[in-house]
Amino acid sequence: MPRTPWLDLPADLRAAVEARAGKVDREDPSDAGINSEITSTLHTVRGRVFVKGSADERARRSLRNEAAVSPHVSALAPRLLFDVEAGGWRLLAFEHLDARPIDYGPGSGDLPKLAELIGHLQQTPRPAVTTLPFERRWSQLGDAGLLAGDALLHTDFNRANVLITQERAYLVDWAWSCKGAAWVDLAFLAVRLIAAGHHPADAERWVAQIPAWKTAPAEGIDAFATLHLRLWERAVQREPRPAWVELAATAKTWAAYRGL
């Protein structure tokens, strides 16, 4: 999605933000995220805030979902400072982190922090506002019934969404959060580990340190791997973005490892 600089946002939206955060002196744009028209760190007279926002109707719905779940995941993510709508836009502002994207690679020193973060995620109760069933999201790919459950899911573990500080890991961008089997998030993580260079067996061993994986039905994991491959193969057919091509190749590697 094309990016909009801070100064090109509607004047009433900028005024609403500055009324809460203070006058903006400088913007540091980010290329993270593909569903927002602005993702930037704003330097204000009161400090730094991270903002994301869009005028696109579908993106605004995702931002609404993220705003609703954010108060319930404050132990896992940067704190939501405010949520404003003006000029046809919706914009969320979060506390700023001095952080970098995770290194998922074999031997990475970030992996213990990731394990601690995922342990906390798995113990976080699903808030009542999170009602979309994950199996419904994937229903157009095939039978996703084995992925159903009542756990809080994040579902998007790309590197930019797992941020590492000196002390810990944070999980950001809850726009796609939903409910489903707790092990589904671990399956998404296994894919990211494989993409980063882990052998599929090693990736599955890593996620197996989380209890939900040990009780996941093998046929459920196979169903996830099959549908996940179908998802990215269809995405690449529509538009062969390099990141999507890589995910499709990773999904194929994992599915082949599982004999699918």
State how far the Cα of 224 lies from the Cα of 231, in Å rounded to an integer.
10
Q: Does domain 100-257 have CATH number 3.90.1200.10?
A: yes
- Model pTM? 0.94
Per-residue pLDDT tens listing for the chain (260 residues):
678 999 999 999 999 999 999 999 999 998 776 778 999 999 999 999 999 999 999 999 999 999 999 999 999 999 999 999 999 999 999 999 999 999 999 999 999 999 999 999 999 999 999 999 999 999 999 999 999 999 999 999 999 999 999 999 999 999 999 999 999 999 999 999 999 999 999 999 999 999 999 999 999 999 999 999 999 999 999 999 999 999 999 999 999 999 99
CB count within 10 Å of CB 235 equals 16
8 A C-beta contact, residue 210 and residue 122: yes
Would residue 189 be called left, alpha or beta, if left means φ above 0 and alpha means ψ between -120 and 50 degrees?
Answer: alpha
Predicted pLDDT of residue 244: 94
Per-domain residue ranges for the chain?
6-95, 100-257
Predicted pLDDT of residue 1: 64
Q: Tokens standing for 203?
A: 């990736």
Q: Could you say which DSSP state residue 127 is in?
A: P
Q: How far is CA 132 from CA 141, 178, 237, in A?
A: 17, 5, 27
Query: Strands (DSSP E) along 79-174, which ranges?
Result: 80-86, 89-95, 100-101, 151-153, 162-164, 169-171
Q: Would you identify the CATH topology of the domain 6-95?
A: Phosphorylase Kinase; domain 1 (3.30.200)
State how far the Cα of 259 lies from the Cα of 222, in Å rounded to an integer.
9
27 by DSSP, 3-state: which?
strand
CB count within 10 Å of CB 241 equals 12
Burial state string for 156-184 with b = 16 or more CB within 10 A and e = fewer than 16: bbbbbbbbbeeeebbbbbbbbbbbbbbbb
Predicted pLDDT of residue 30: 85
Any idea which residue has 């890589």 for tokens?
246
Predicted pLDDT of residue 138: 97
